[in-house]
Structures are given as C-alpha cells and as structure tokens.
C-alpha cells in the first residue's frame, strides 16, 4: 500500500549554491522572529512583543501579521466592493479606523509619536477608501488585504523608536516576490532583501510584513499557503538565519491533540519531514509548504509561545531521532471514495483513468489503497464531488463515505524499524478501520476511521504508543 499526496514542491531555485554568503549584522548571524495576529492583537501585546524581541540585544528580522480581526474586516470591505456597495465598505472602514485610533493613546507615551501614528493610519485608510472607488478586481482585493500588515508593522516600529530602540521598517513589497506560477522567486528575494539590509546598516531590529508580496506583474499579491509563516522561513533561508522562531499563542507541538486526549506531552524536537507529515494531516503546526525553504537551507525552525516565552517550545531541524514515534495527528471531515471494477484486473490504464478525473476537477488526494478489483482514495475538498462521482461511475461501481477521519502516526518508521506499525494497529484493534496507508513515507502510517471513533482512537494510540515509549 502506498500513499500519494498532491503536494507543491518549490523550484530548484531554492537550492543555494553560494553557502558562504551569510548576511551578518554587528558580527552576528541574525535570527528571524514571526508573530501572528493574536500576538500583536492589542497595544499591551504589542508592548510584550517589543520587550521580547529586544531583551537579549541580538539583531533580528521580525515578521508581523495584521492585528487579530483586521484581515476579516478587510475581507468584508473587499466583499462590499465586489458587490458594488462602496457605502457598506465605508461603514466598515470607519469602524476599523476608529478601532486603530483608539489604540494609539494606549500604545504611545508622547504626543509627537501619537500624532505621527495617527497621520500614518489616516493615510492608509484614505488609500483603502480610494481603492474602494475603483472597479473591483482580484488585484484590488489583494491590495486592500495588504493594509492590515502595513498598519501593524508601522505601529510597532514607531513604538520601538519611541523606546529608543534602533529599529527600522523594511517593506516586504520591496523584496518579497512570487513568479508566474505563484512560487517564491528566491533569487529576487535574496538579492533585494540583501539590498534592503545593506541600505539600513547598524539597526538592531528590522520590522517587516508577513503574507504580502508582489507577483510577476508587479502587483500586490500574497503568499497563499502559510502566509506570514512562509514569509519568515523564506527570509530565514535567504539570509541563512541562525534560527527562525514562529511565535504563537500555543506552547509548541504536543504528541497528540490535547483537546481530545488526556496525558499529552510536548514534543521538543521534530525532523523537517516529520513536521511536514504532521502539518499535512491536521496538526496545528507550520503549513507543509512553509517548511521547505528552511529544510533546504538547513535553518532550524522553533515554535514558541508568546504567553510563556521561557518555555523551550518545539524545534524543527534536519536531525532524526532514530527508532522514535513522535506524535499523532488527525485530519477531519474526510470523504472516502471506493471504485470497484472487474475491468481493473490486469488493466494497466485503470488507475490513470481514475487519477485523471481527480486532476480534471483540481481535487487533491490524501490516501490511496488498491486491490485486484478496486481502488479507494480520500479527499478533503468536496466542492466538485458530484461531478467526480458521475465520471467515476463510467468506469466502475462507486461507494462514497462521508465524515471520515485520517489518523496518522508520525516518527522514524523506516522498514528496518520493525514493530511500530504493529503497535499502532494493535492500539486500534477495537476501532473499525476503513483504510490503512503504509509504505509511501518513512515517517507516517495512516488510518482512515469514522469521525465518531476519532477521540477513542487518539486516546488508544496515546495510551499504547507513548506509554510504551516512556
């Protein structure tokens, strides 16, 4: 049995030939810190972030998301513009502008900086108003969405300056670029980021925006998969950072989902491949695409908690802990499709026909199992399910099962490490198994079960695998 994944792979441009060119500031290799919207969601949290990034005195590039809730409001504004209702957009704009202006007295101590920031925010919202008066397009929407990151980064930079920190804002739109395929243009990013850093020497903190970029046409765009996390790892790879730290409101990665399972423990280290598997199958961790730049450049990524900054978090690197199961993850709301056909027997083109149908409707496949007369696959994107089933019925009998769940066990599962698959299947002996996928990866064995059985399956694996490993 093998597993197939429709995963995006970065271009070979990510292979760095000149490993000696490391950007240094004040004789230190820089770190990259990324903070999400929750971490900068209030003036108080902004202050906490600023204290955190300046405490150790080392130079950093700091990637910031928009304040929590802002992007949703900007999406709503863009939606009103799409529907030809600028008045509706104007109401949201006014509300959001007032919200930001109310934060200013809480964040800044001096009237000079308060006035400076008010003017900056007012100018950004004037830009949003102007965009709303234009004919709607995808590029207009993306430009509206970019304003959240522009506001948060300017606010934090101004606060750092008021605190006499040597901080400067380097605009992401000056160096972050995607190509015509929507993939990062690594040569452009590396060279233009280097230019930005060289043009601003001697600073301790470099603030920049996550998520936003320019496309091949020079328009404002975004990084899609992984957003600000992707920005951080692309920067880290470009400058060969000492470490990329992703700061969120959770304490790293646990070996199971603590929302459903008792007795979980933190995972202190993951291999890049293990991390990608866990992320793909539902763990609250970096998007699989975000891992790739750091993995290829050999830059460690550490997951940290802003609410508990002294906790060690989880480090992701190229090291492999042999013979160890690291974690269990679950991916919900899966649809399983079984295609049975007597014509499949010895038919070399049968699988090609099946996969071409999913390709036609741009629907990725997660798991695959085969037999002599049939094939079962799973999908999580069901918008084109009806059309897919209709086409599949022309080549076989089709059975569809909804509300399924993929449980994956991740660790060092190379074939020479015998016994782990037995332990996993034995743990699930009382759980009805719809599919098992093993052998497609050295790091993952996956089980398809009903969502009704999810909690007891996760708990059984926790009690069996990790109790056994302790």
Q: Which residues contact 162 (CB under 8 A, 6 or more apart)?
A: 108, 109, 110, 113
> Dihedral angle at the C-alpha atoms of 425, 427, 432, 435, nearest 10 degrees?
-30
- pLDDT confidence tier of residue 2, bands split at 50, 70 and 90: very low
* DSSP-assigned letter for residue 80: H
Alpha carbon of 93 to those of 119, 133, 140, 147, 443: distances in Å? 16, 13, 15, 12, 48
- Out of 3.40.1280.10, 1.10.3080.10, 3.40.1160.10, 3.10.520.10, select the CATH number for domain 12-248: 3.40.1160.10
Looking at residues 429-447, what average pLDDT do you find? 90
- pLDDT confidence tier of residue 413, bands split at 50, 70 and 90: confident
Q: Map out the domains of the chain as residue ranges.
A: 12-248, 325-469
CATH class for the domain made up of 325-469: alpha beta
Residue 156 neighbours by CB distance under 10 Å: 24
Alpha carbon of 75 to those of 35, 226, 238, 383: distances in Å? 21, 17, 31, 22
- Summarised one tens digit per residue, pLDDT across range 155-211 is 999 999 999 999 999 999 999 999 999 999 999 999 999 999 999 999 999 999 999
Looking at residues 212-237, what average pLDDT do you find? 93
- pLDDT confidence tier of residue 415, bands split at 50, 70 and 90: low
User: Token pair 């949290």 is at which residue?
Assistant: 45
Cβ(365)–Cβ(446) below 8 Å: no
Alpha carbon of 390 to those of 6, 84, 115, 299, 387: distances in Å? 22, 37, 62, 47, 5
Cβ(171)–Cβ(208) below 8 Å: yes
- pLDDT confidence tier of residue 345, bands split at 50, 70 and 90: low
pTM: 0.84
Residue 469, pLDDT score: 52
Looking at residues 232-257, what average pLDDT do you find? 91
């Amino acid at each position: 049995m093998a597993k197939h994944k429709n995963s995006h792979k970065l271009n070979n441009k990510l292979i760095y030939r000149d490993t000696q060119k490391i950007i240094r500031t004040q004789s230190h290799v820089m770190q990259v810190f990324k903070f999400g919207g929750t971490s900068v969601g209030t003036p108080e949290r902004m202050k906490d972030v600023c204290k955190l990034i300046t405490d150790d005195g080392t130079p950093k590039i700091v990637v910031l998301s928009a304040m929590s809730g802002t992007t949703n409001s900007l999406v709503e504004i863009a939606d009103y513009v799409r529907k030809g209702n600028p008045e509706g957009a104007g109401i949201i704009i006014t509300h959001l502008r007032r919200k930001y202006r109310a934060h200013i007295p809480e964040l800044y101590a001096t009237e000079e900086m308060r006035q400076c920031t008010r003017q900056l925010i007012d100018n950004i919202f004037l830009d949003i108003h102007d965009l709303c008066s234009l004919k709607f397009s995808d590029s207009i929407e993306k430009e509206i969405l970019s304003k959240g990151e522009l506001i948060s980064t300017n606010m934090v930079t101004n606060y750092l300056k008021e605190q006499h920190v040597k901080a400067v804002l380097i605009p992401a739109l000056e160096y972050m670029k995607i190509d015509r395929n929507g993939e990062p243009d690594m040569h452009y990013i590396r060279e233009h980021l280097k230019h930005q850093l060289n043009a601003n020497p001697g600073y301790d903190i470099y603030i920049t925006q996550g998520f936003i970029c320019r496309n091949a046409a020079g328009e404002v765009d975004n990084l899609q998969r992984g957003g600000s996390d992707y920005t951080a790892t692309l920067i880290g790879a470009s400058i060969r950072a000492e470490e990329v730290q992703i700061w969120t409101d959770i304490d790293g990665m646990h070996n199971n989902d603590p929302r459903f399972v008792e007795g979980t423990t933190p995972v202190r280290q993951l291999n890049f491949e293990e991390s990608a598997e866990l992320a793909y199958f539902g763990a609250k961790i970096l998007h699989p695409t975000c891992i790739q730049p750091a993995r290829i450049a050999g830059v460690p990524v550490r997951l940290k908690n802003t609410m508990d900054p002294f906790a060690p978090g989880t480090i992701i690197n190229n090291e492999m802990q042999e013979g160890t199961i690291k974690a269990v993850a679950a991916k919900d709301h899966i649809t399983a499709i079984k295609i049975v056909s007597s014509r499949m027997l010895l038919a070399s083109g049968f699988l090609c026909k099946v996969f071409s149908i999913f390709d036609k409707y741009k629907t990725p496949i997660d798991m695959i199992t085969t037999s002599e007369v049939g094939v079962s696959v799973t999908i999580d994107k069901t918008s084109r399910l009806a059309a897919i089933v209709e086409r599949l019925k022309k080549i076989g009998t089709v059975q569809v099962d909804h509300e399924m769940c993929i449980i994956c066990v991740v660790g060092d599962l190379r074939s020479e490490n015998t016994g782990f698959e037995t332990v996993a299947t034995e743990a699930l002996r009382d759980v009805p198994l719809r599919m098992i996928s093993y052998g497609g990866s050295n790091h993952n064995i996956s089980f398809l079960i009903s969502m009704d059985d999810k909690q007891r399956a996760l708990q059984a694996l926790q009690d069996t695998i990790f109790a056994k490993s302790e």
